[in-house]
């Protein structure tokens, strides 16, 4: 809240770093959702690249030529230009996903992410926790300062690349994620609106929304794996919809493991709620039983699949829930969370690493 409250943003870097930290805490939790004690600058760079990737495509609105939106009050934010330049060099179509590009050009994307990492090390990571001249490391501690040189960063043994979380900080990021994420999106979009002097209405969805049509294309093959039944009520599905098991608003994960098919009644009623433990159990069983089929579907559609990440996010999100919180069981029906049973269910989930 302190970081967001400071107001005088000249670029969107702080927003990007905060979102990246939040997502990494969700993705790298332990067996029962214990948040990580440290993450690396390389992991932050990968996340920040993912965030800016769709934002580096040209934005168009009435009557003006399409252009990449400015995200800094000075010269364009360097990280965004790096992504933009890469996209131009590779002559990518606007809709090309980073996931697809990683498989087409793994070395080029790795080089891009390494460049992004260096910019993060230089600037936003040491500056995020500074007010004026005072440094207050309330989120994480790092082992370098403003005087860091590229040569030190490049030497494998010369650079300590860890962000070590202060006690309780990672847990707070996980617990507050559902509140912080929309706030960060909103502030980020308002800043971009101001920097570009454009109407506000479409900016937020341009920056953060995923391609719904592409997800819908997976409904058929996923429904086959579910033998034509709704994932939630087990009824026959007339009007199929793809549902994010972990709601998109909690963690934006399009990975195939996070996608299930439901009839539109269940899907709409579940909305942004978290599914109850019965559903979680069956979600785990589906992963155990159908991992190869899910892999095949993902492969055929060039779709991201990282069961390890999705499972870790599930553990973090359920692990951070307070006891007795109502979870979505069925249309208009909720069940309070039983934390003892939760531990058993989490223990039975597949382990990937
Ligand atoms: Zn249903």
- pLDDT value of position 61: 80
User: Is it the case that residue 221 has pLDDT exceeding 80?
Assistant: yes
What distance in angstroms lies between residue 235's CA and the mean position of ligand 1's atoms? 6
What distance in angstroms lies between residue 35's CA and the mean position of ligand 1's atoms? 33
User: Is it the case that residue 353 has pLDDT exceeding 60?
Assistant: no
Helix (H) or strand (E) holding 39: strand 38-40
What distance in angstroms lies between residue 234's CA and the mean position of ligand 1's atoms? 6
Q: State what percent of residues in the chain have pLDDT above 90.
A: 75
What distance in angstroms lies between residue 263's CA and the mean position of ligand 1's atoms? 5
User: What does the domain layout of the chain look like in residue ranges?
Assistant: 2-208, 212-348
CA distance 235 to 226: 11
CA distance 319 to 317: 5
What distance in angstroms lies between residue 331's CA and the mean position of ligand 1's atoms? 8
- pLDDT value of position 202: 86
Residues with CB under 5 A from ligand 1 (ion): 230, 232-233, 263, 266
- pLDDT value of position 116: 98
- pLDDT value of position 200: 80
What distance in angstroms lies between residue 217's CA and the mean position of ligand 1's atoms? 19
- pLDDT value of position 157: 80
**For range 46-70, the mean pLDDT:** 92
Helix (H) or strand (E) holding 328: strand 326-330
pTM score of the predicted model: 0.90
What distance in angstroms lies between residue 295's CA and the mean position of ligand 1's atoms? 24
- pLDDT value of position 5: 76
Output the CA–CA distances (angstroms, integers) from residue 214 to 207, 210, 242, 338, in the order listed: 17, 9, 10, 36
- Residue 126 neighbours by CB under 8 Å, 6+ apart: 142, 144, 145, 146, 148
- pLDDT value of position 110: 98
**For range 207-235, the mean pLDDT:** 91
- pLDDT value of position 8: 64
What distance in angstroms lies between residue 179's CA and the mean position of ligand 1's atoms? 28
- pLDDT value of position 7: 59
* Range of lowest pLDDT (38-52, 87-101, 124-138, 152-166): 124-138
What distance in angstroms lies between residue 266's CA and the mean position of ligand 1's atoms? 4
What distance in angstroms lies between residue 273's CA and the mean position of ligand 1's atoms? 15
What distance in angstroms lies between residue 325's CA and the mean position of ligand 1's atoms? 22
């Amino acid at each position: 809240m302190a970081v967001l409250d400071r107001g005088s943003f000249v670029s969107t870097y702080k927003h990007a770093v905060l979102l990246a930290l939040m997502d990494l805490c969700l993705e790298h939790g332990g067996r029962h959702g214990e948040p990580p004690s440290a993450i690396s600058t390389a992991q932050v760079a990968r996340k920040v690249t993912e965030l800016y990737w769709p934002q580096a495509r040209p934005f168009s609105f009435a009557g003006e030529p399409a252009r990449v939106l400015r995200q800094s009050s000075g010269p364009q934010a360097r990280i965004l230009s790096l992504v933009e330049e890469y996209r131009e060099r590779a002559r990518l179509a606007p809709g090309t996903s980073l996931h697809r590009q990683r498989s087409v050009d793994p070395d080029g994307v790795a080089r891009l992410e390494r460049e992004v990492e260096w910019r993060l090390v230089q600037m936003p990571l040491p500056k995020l926790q500074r007010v004026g001249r005072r440094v207050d490391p309330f989120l994480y501690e790092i082992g370098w300062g403003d005087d860091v040189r590229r040569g030190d960063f490049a030497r494998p043994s010369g650079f300590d690349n860890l962000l070590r979380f202060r006690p309780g900080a990672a847990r707070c990021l996980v617990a507050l994620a559902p509140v912080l994420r929309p706030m960060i999106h909103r502030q980020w979009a308002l800043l971009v609106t101001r920097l570009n002097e454009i109407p506000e209405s479409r900016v937020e969805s341009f920056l953060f929304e995923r391609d719904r049509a592409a997800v819908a294309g997976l409904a058929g093959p996923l429904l086959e794996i579910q033998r034509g039944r709704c994932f939630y009520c087990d009824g026959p599905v007339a009007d199929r919809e793809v549902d994010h098991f972990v709601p998109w608003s909690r963690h934006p994960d399009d990975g195939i493991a996070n996608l299930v098919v439901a009839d539109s009644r269940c899907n709409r009623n579940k909305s942004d709620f978290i599914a109850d433990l019965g559903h979680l159990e069956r979600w785990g069983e589906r992963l155990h039983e159908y991992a190869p089929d899910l892999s095949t579907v993902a492969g055929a559609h060039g779709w991201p699949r990282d069961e390890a990440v999705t499972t870790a996010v599930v553990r973090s999100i359920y692990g951070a829930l307070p006891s007795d919180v109502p979870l979505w069981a069925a249309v208009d029906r909720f069940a309070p969370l039983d934390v003892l049973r939760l531990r058993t269910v989490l223990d039975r989930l597949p382990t990937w690493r």
